[in-house]
């Protein structure tokens, strides 16, 4: 295992603690609006705490979720397809650990500079299937084993602790307002604006199979969201 990955953080930094009644502890997995929430913290003047040790999370008031195929492709475009366009190198000519490029390079067995040219959706699915399907879940909580941008959303929360309130920040603007999150400002490293590779039907099926628990979680969100919309009429 390379030196960089041995020192990589095992912390998710996914639980945002807001001074908001009923929305105090909010779980925001990576690629589910995390950067959106991070960019809004200045509006709170230091009153929001990000718990970097609570992983997998418990005792939550709310959890951000995202449709699994869209989340996977967002990670692929952000970390691989447009990675060099989105992230700069440090003084030593290396990509930051936080870019995720180093982790992809390590698990795919290629130099970071070749990630963009050589890592395909199919190859990434091969790698992730080998990790998610074959390694114990407890081992996957180690972010050197499975980068949180690629881990199932349900892995970010402890079993039995998925909160009642699930939201998709692309739909639930009333919750975003309460958390002072302005979705219209979400342009930071948003590689979706570049377009990019579109997965084949076979790749979509593989993504859904790999993230089957997230598919079920998002279906629950859609059901709950529909009920909230009806009750608001």
Q: What is residue 91's predicted lDDT score, i.e. its pLDDT? A: 61
Q: What is the pTM assigned to this prediction? A: 0.88
Residue 76 has pLDDT above 80, yes or no: yes
pLDDT in tens, 114-138: 888 899 999 999 999 999 999 988 8
Q: Find tokens 């950067």 and name the residue.
A: 35
Residue 227 has pLDDT above 80, yes or no: yes
Q: What is residue 129's predicted lDDT score, i.e. its pLDDT? A: 97
Measured in whole angstroms, the distance separating CA 228 from the mean position of its chain's CA atoms is 25
pLDDT in tens, 22-61: 999 999 999 999 988 998 998 998 899 987 677 889 999 9
HEC string of 212-232?
A: HHHHHHHHHHHHHHHHHHHHH
pLDDT in tens, 165-196: 999 999 999 999 999 998 876 655 455 555 68
| E strand intervals along 45-160 | 49-51, 62-64
Tokens of 188: 């930071």
Residue 99 confidence class, pLDDT cut points 50, 70, 90: low
Q: What is residue 140's predicted lDDT score, i.e. its pLDDT? A: 86
Distance spanning both ends of the chain, measured CA to CA: 56
Q: What is residue 107's predicted lDDT score, i.e. its pLDDT? A: 92
Q: What is residue 143's predicted lDDT score, i.e. its pLDDT? A: 82
pLDDT in tens, 137-169: 888 888 888 999 999 999 999 999 999 999 999
Residue 228 has pLDDT above 50, yes or no: yes
Q: Which has the higher per-residue pLDDT, 101 or 2?
A: 101
Q: Where are the domains of the chain?
A: 3-232
């Amino acid at each position: 295992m390379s030196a960089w990955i041995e020192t990589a953080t095992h912390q998710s930094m996914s639980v945002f603690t807001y001074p908001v009644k009923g929305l105090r502890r909010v779980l925001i997995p990576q690629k589910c609006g995390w950067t959106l929430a991070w960019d809004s913290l200045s509006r709170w003047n230091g009153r929001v705490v990000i718990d970097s040790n609570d992983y997998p999370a418990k005792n939550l008031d709310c959890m951000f979720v995202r449709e699994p195929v869209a989340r996977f492709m967002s990670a692929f475009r952000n970390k691989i397809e447009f990675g060099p366009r989105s992230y700069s190198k440090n003084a030593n000519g290396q990509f930051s650990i936080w870019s995720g490029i180093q982790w992809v390079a390590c698990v795919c067995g290629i130099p970071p500079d070749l990630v963009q040219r050589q890592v395909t959706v199919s190859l990434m699915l091969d790698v992730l299937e080998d990790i998610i399907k074959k390694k114990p879940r407890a081992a996957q909580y180690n972010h050197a084993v499975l980068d949180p941008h690629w881990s199932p959303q349900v892995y970010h929360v402890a079993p039995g602790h998925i909160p009642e309130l699930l939201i998709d920040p692309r739909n639930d603007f009333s919750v975003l307002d309460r958390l002072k999150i302005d979705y219209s400002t979400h342009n930071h490293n948003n590689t979706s604006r570049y377009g990019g590779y579109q997965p084949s039907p076979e790749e979509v099926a593989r993504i859904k199979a790999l993230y089957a628990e997230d598919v079920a979680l998002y279906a629950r969100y859609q059901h709950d969201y529909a009920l909230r919309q009806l009750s608001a009429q």
